[in-house]
Chains A and B, each alone.
Chain A
Amino acid sequence: MSSDNGSPKDVTALLEFRQVNTHYGAVHILKDVDLAIYPGELVCLLGGNASGKSTTLKTLLGMVTPTSGEVVLDGEVVNNKPTSYRVVNGVTMVPENRRLFKRLSVKENLELGAYLRNDKEGIAEDLEKIYGLFPRVKERLSQKSGTLSGGEQQMVAIGRALMSRPRVLLMDEPSMGLAPALVQQNFELIQQIHSDGVAIFMVEQNANMALSIADRGWVLQTGRVVLDDTAEALLANPELRASYLGEG
């Protein structure tokens, strides 16, 4: 592991794992994982199937409680705080495959993203912002979200997440299930959200694409962080190229 992984050392991390271990029943999933996401960063977590990526996200969001180690939000240990506490404090997830509330309307989906907020004006303001970002979504507000096309669903999923005014957006496989032509646009969209000051933590299988827009990255293998470096260094890493980028 390189000693300088490109992380800004002088700032408090927004969200952090310190030696986190998790279990599903007796099965050991995450093993001594260290991660840190700093405000305004775009970072990605790479790894194959069953490497613990989804568990990492669930643990960050509080849907899984670590058996040891600390999950730290703004310098505060939040191991036993519920998901709602983290959402209120700016951590939101865009789930894998978008997973909209299919039989609810687009509007209801967006409003559910702001479930924990009580500031009506703020919510209305953010809705307008999302309509500005996705004019297409505005046209379909009363439509059942399950009837949207894949690209539209992705917009609603991201819009729904943005409705909670996140400071860090956890994205689980954002390019999964999208048409190849859409993947590029999707990454551009992620960059745009990032440029508005939202930190992005992206879990991806599409390592090449993810690293090309990320600042830093980790590689997870059977629950252990095996690489932790800047995106350029990871892209150049022959080991990674061999195992994830399909180059021998």
Chain B
Amino acid sequence: MSAAAALLPSSALHQDWRKVFRWGLICGGSLIALCLVGMPVELDRREIVERYLSLGYVSVLLVPICAGWVAATQIVLEGFESRKQGLYDLVTGLLVGVLGGGGLSLLMVALDSWNLRDPLVNWSPKLLRFLTYENGMGFGAGAWIITCGVLGLAGASLHVVPRVVRRVVAIVLMGLLALSVLESAVSDLSEGFRLEWLADLIYAKKGGLTLTSALVVGIVMAVVAALTDGRVKAVTNRYREMEGMERQKASIVLFAVVAVLCIVLPIFLGKIMNELLANVGIFLLLALGLNIVVGLAGLLDLGYVAFFAVGGYTTAVLTSPNSPWFAPELHFGVSLIFVVIFAAIVGLIIGAPVIRMRGDYLAIVTLGFGEIIRLLFMSDWLGPYFGGAQGITNVPGVDLGFATVKGTDPRSVFYLVLFFCVIAIYVSWRLQASRLGRAWMAIREDEQVAEAMGINTVSAKLMAFVVGAVLAAFSGAVLAAKVGSIFPTSFMILVSIIILVVVIVGGMGNIAGVLVGSVVLIGVLGGPKQPGLLQEFQNFKLLIYGILLVFMMLKRPEGLVPSARRSRELHQDEFLQDAWLKGDKLGIDDDEIETGHVEEESR
């Protein structure tokens, strides 16, 4: 100790020990939890860099880096001189990492000594082999403590290095990880653009990057990252600060680019990617509908899947020749009219009794209704009409005359769902600015006062249910045409929950947020049954959903994309605060300044 103290400047030893222990425990705890969940072992098969690094090890190694980074983050207190970041933080990171590695070592010892496989499925020799790297215990424990310590140090050192370095390191690491994990997507894309040779060059035959390609791509990324430093932010800032006409023009350009991408890109994409896009579209449509109900009107509807089911079943019954009771075999377009009608009716039926309830009660009752609808479709009682558990099969595709939209051609499904999404986005956008939209927002904020303003809260809330129901039913109709059959199991409660998560994570009451949310969650992670880009994480999807939801609620409740207005307001708050701090109004109660006006006026 004294030798160490002599070597190190004293500042490194005056640690905030509580902080170090807290983050060390968090680091170790997360590592142990991760291992016991089984993620590293399962992901070990997936190579990131051929022969050198698997996704399993990456998932473990990321933890101490993050813990080190977070533990060394300094909270800058306004009005206080902040300490310069340096050795102190590096030591913090190192210690946090070592503690984390210690946690893993303890796990290893426990794995070796006891058998807890009964409650903990992943308590297996496999995990021990993974942790010891097929060497002895001593080697494993030492290796983990050193590795985690170094990684914690690396995480903490990101605070010390210049910003450019930080940016380059982050982009290269994340970029390589993404490139490797998204191998199937990249291969698919490269095939579409006839660049197979490039994909062959980058990826090893067994999957994962080759070491050389990892190095080359890493260097390219580093150069690009260093060159673009600061420019991306400048562009987005310029866009944010635009006003009036200029902003409108920029928005139109942006919109046009997205539109062209949406129309052109699928042509170059293969089946898997188009399938994925179609799934994103179906869930986007649902999320847009739920966004009106939850985000605008503030009605927490946990049974939203009911309307999805109504749309699917209506389409199936009306178009399929296999409908058991009534099979008019209508065209999809004609059946759509009935989809709207039935969705609106069901929206009213479910909405009417629950409309008087608030908050939690509404959530619980709608939750029940969502299950009731599914159980009704599944029941023997309605079996003769809707096929019970066997569902309705042989739902035809959509015959458009020049083309047929069907599940075997996911590209066509994507275009169909894109059409509906465009309608839904337009409707949401117009409604938001409308009188009804304002009534919804008022109800969301304070229902009683909204009523006192003369807003008919009952009809406004019913309208929210009906509009949401119709959009969800469209989505159900597309699902029926896409899958070609409809089963009650497609309408599990999980669908409601996942859509709600999409809306919350994206940003409630915000169309762009919902868009981003569905691309990120459904596209990358996958829907309740639909695989996403990260197929490897399939088994851990719900876990990641849960973690993401908790994280967002704690750290960013406004969602990934806070509405433009909201961020402007936040910006303005800061601005006002700065002005207030700089001005000479310090020490005077704000109220008194403001009411000075009132006094003058009232004389």
A115 touches B569 (CB 8 A): no
Residues of chain B contacted by A206 (CB below 8 angstroms): none
**0/1 per residue, B429-444, Cβ < 8 Å to A?**
0000001001101101
A88 contacts the other chain (CB 8 A): yes
Set A84, A104, A116, A143: member contacting B441, Cβ < 8 A: A104
Given contacts A108-B438, A142-B568, A143-B569, contact A179 B589 (CB under 8 A): yes
A221 contacts the other chain (CB 8 A): no
A192 touches B601 (CB 8 A): yes
B591 touches A83 (CB 8 A): no
B445 contacts the other chain (CB 8 A): yes
- Tell me the smallest distance from the CB of B75 to a CB of chain A, in Å: 23
A244 contacts the other chain (CB 8 A): no
A104 touches B454 (CB 8 A): no
B452 contacts the other chain (CB 8 A): yes
**0/1 per residue, A142-155, Cβ < 8 Å to B?**
11100101111001
B573 contacts the other chain (CB 8 A): yes
B597 touches A136 (CB 8 A): yes
B592 contacts the other chain (CB 8 A): yes
Residues of chain A contacted by B435 (CB below 8 angstroms): 115
- Tell me the smallest distance from the CB of B356 to a CB of chain A, in Å: 13
Among listed A23-31, A34-42, A44-52, A182-190, interface-contacting one: A182-190
Residues of chain A contacted by B451 (CB below 8 angstroms): 63, 83
The complex places the Cα of A82 from the Cα of B442 at a distance, in Å, of: 18
B121 contacts the other chain (CB 8 A): no
Residues of chain A contacted by B450 (CB below 8 angstroms): 101, 112
A93 contacts the other chain (CB 8 A): yes
A112 touches B442 (CB 8 A): yes
Residues of chain B contacted by A164 (CB below 8 angstroms): 453-454
A104 touches B445 (CB 8 A): yes
- Tell me the smallest distance from the CB of A226 to a CB of chain B, in Å: 27
B454 touches A83 (CB 8 A): yes
**0/1 per residue, A106-128, Cβ < 8 Å to B?**
00100111011000000000000
The complex places the Cα of A83 from the Cα of B448 at a distance, in Å, of: 11
Set A84, A95, A147, A181: member contacting B454, Cβ < 8 A: A84
The complex places the Cα of A143 from the Cα of B568 at a distance, in Å, of: 9
Q: Which A residues from 54 to 88 make CB contacts under 8 A with B?
A: 61, 63, 82-84, 86-88
B594 contacts the other chain (CB 8 A): yes
- Tell me the smallest distance from the CB of A166 to a CB of chain B, in Å: 11
**0/1 per residue, B554-579, Cβ < 8 Å to A?**
00000000000110110011001000
B591 touches A101 (CB 8 A): no
Q: Which B residues from 572 to 603 make CB contacts under 8 A with A?
A: 572-573, 576, 589-592, 594-595, 597-599, 601-602
**0/1 per residue, A131-175, Cβ < 8 Å to B?**
011111000001110010111100100001000100000000000
Residues of chain A contacted by B601 (CB below 8 angstroms): 132-135, 192
Given contacts A115-B439, A192-B602, contact A182 B595 (CB under 8 A): yes
A5 contacts the other chain (CB 8 A): no
A7 contacts the other chain (CB 8 A): no
Given contacts A95-B448, A143-B573, contact A188 B568 (CB under 8 A): no
Set A99, A150, A192: member contacting B591, Cβ < 8 A: A150
B449 touches A101 (CB 8 A): yes
A105 contacts the other chain (CB 8 A): yes
- Tell me the smallest distance from the CB of B183 to a CB of chain A, in Å: 43
Residues of chain A contacted by B569 (CB below 8 angstroms): 105, 142-144, 147
B591 touches A93 (CB 8 A): no
A87 touches B454 (CB 8 A): yes
The complex places the Cα of A189 from the Cα of B594 at a distance, in Å, of: 13
- Tell me the smallest distance from the CB of A20 to a CB of chain B, in Å: 19
A111 touches B438 (CB 8 A): yes
B592 touches A181 (CB 8 A): yes
B228 contacts the other chain (CB 8 A): no
A179 touches B591 (CB 8 A): yes
The chain A residue with its CB closest to the CB of B443 is: A101
Residues of chain A contacted by B438 (CB below 8 angstroms): 108, 111-112, 115
State the interface size on chain A (CB cutoff 8 A).
48
Set B445, B572, B595: member contacting A151, Cβ < 8 A: B595
B118 contacts the other chain (CB 8 A): no
A115 touches B453 (CB 8 A): yes
B599 touches A185 (CB 8 A): yes
- Tell me the smallest distance from the CB of B395 to a CB of chain A, in Å: 43
A189 touches B598 (CB 8 A): yes
The complex places the Cα of A9 from the Cα of B102 at a distance, in Å, of: 88
The complex places the Cα of A95 from the Cα of B444 at a distance, in Å, of: 17
Set A102, A152, A192: member contacting B594, Cβ < 8 A: A152
Set B448, B455, B599: member contacting A115, Cβ < 8 A: B455
Residues of chain A contacted by B78 (CB below 8 angstroms): none
A104 touches B456 (CB 8 A): no
- Tell me the smallest distance from the CB of A129 to a CB of chain B, in Å: 12
B442 touches A101 (CB 8 A): yes
Set A83, A84, A101, A191: member contacting B445, Cβ < 8 A: A101
Residues of chain A contacted by B445 (CB below 8 angstroms): 100-104
Interface centre among B435, B454, B576, B597 (most CB of A within 10 A): B454
B446 contacts the other chain (CB 8 A): yes
The chain B residue with its CB closest to the CB of A112 is: B442
A151 touches B454 (CB 8 A): no
Set B439, B452, B595: member contacting A93, Cβ < 8 A: B452
Residues of chain B contacted by A192 (CB below 8 angstroms): 601-602
B602 touches A99 (CB 8 A): no
Interface centre among A144, A151, A155 (most CB of B within 10 A): A151
Set A87, A105, A155, A185: member contacting B453, Cβ < 8 A: A87
The complex places the Cα of A189 from the Cα of B450 at a distance, in Å, of: 24
The complex places the Cα of A86 from the Cα of B455 at a distance, in Å, of: 12
- Tell me the smallest distance from the CB of A55 to a CB of chain B, in Å: 13
**0/1 per residue, A213-242, Cβ < 8 Å to B?**
000000000000000000000000000000
The chain B residue with its CB closest to the CB of A155 is: B598
The complex places the Cα of A136 from the Cα of B594 at a distance, in Å, of: 7
A61 touches B452 (CB 8 A): yes
B449 touches A95 (CB 8 A): yes
B572 touches A142 (CB 8 A): yes
Q: List 11 A-B contacts (CB under 8 A).
A: A61-B452, A63-B451, A82-B456, A83-B451, A84-B454, A84-B456, A100-B445, A101-B449, A112-B438, A115-B455, A150-B591
B interface residue numbers (CB < 8 A to A):
435, 438-439, 441-442, 444-446, 448-456, 565-566, 568-569, 572-573, 576, 589-592, 594-595, 597-599, 601-602
Q: A88-B454, A136-B597 are in contact. List 20 more A-B contacts (CB 8 A).
A: A63-B451, A83-B451, A83-B452, A84-B456, A86-B454, A95-B448, A99-B449, A101-B450, A103-B441, A105-B569, A108-B438, A115-B438, A133-B601, A134-B601, A135-B601, A142-B569, A144-B569, A149-B590, A185-B598, A189-B602
A interface residue numbers (CB < 8 A to B):
61, 63, 82-84, 86-88, 92-93, 95, 99-105, 108, 111-113, 115-116, 132-136, 142-144, 147, 149-152, 155, 160, 164, 179, 181-182, 185, 188-189, 191-192
User: A-B pairs with the 8 shortest C-beta distances?
Assistant: A87-B454, A101-B445, A84-B454, A151-B591, A116-B454, A192-B602, A188-B602, A136-B594
